[in-house]
Amino acid sequence: MAKFSKKRGSASPEVSTASLPDIIFMLLFFFMVVTVLRDSELKVKVSTPYATQLTKLEEKSLVNYLYIGRPTPKFQPVYGTKPRLQLGDKFASIAEIPLFLEKHKVKVPEAKRPRITSSLRVDGEVTMGIVQDTKTQLRKSGQLRVNYSAKKRAD
C-alpha cells in the first residue's frame, strides 16, 4: 500500500483588500449619477397663495400631488392657456384621477393606506371650476383627506 503524505505549507493566499475602496467609490459615483431626485417635471405654472396657519405633512411618501394651473409657455402651443390638471408627470383629465390614486395606493403598505393625503397645488389665479371638479372626483374616488398647499406668509 502506498503511503499518503500531507503537504505542508500549501495554504491559500489571503484575499487582497487594497482595491476595495476603489470599488466602493465607483459604486457610489454610479448611484449618484443614476439616481433621479425629482418625481415629476412641473408642466403647469403654480404660484401657491400665502397663508398664516400652516401644518406640515409628516410622511411625504403618503402624499399624492395634484397640480392645477395654466400650462407653461413651452406647452402652451399644444395644450393652450386654459387651466389644466397635472397628475404625476403628465397632463390628465378629471376622469383619470381614480386610476392615479389607485396606482399610488398599491405602492403604500396596507396599514398606512388610510393616512394617504391628496395635496392640491393650485395656482392662485386659477378659477375654482376645475378645482371644484377635482375635489368632487376625489370625493367620488374615496379620497377624503385633501389639503391645499400654500406658502408661509411673512409677518
pTM for the model stands at: 0.74
The pLDDT, as a whole number, for residue 5 is: 67
Measure Cα distances from 151 to 53, 54, 135 in Å. Answer: 10, 8, 21
- Which domains does the chain carry? 44-152 (3.30.420.270)
DSSP element (H, E) containing 32: helix 20-34
DSSP E strands, the chain: 44-45, 50-51, 63-71, 84-87, 90-92, 117-122, 146-148, 151-152
Cell of 153: 406668509
Least confident window among 38-47, 49-58, 59-68: 38-47
Cell of 20: 476595495
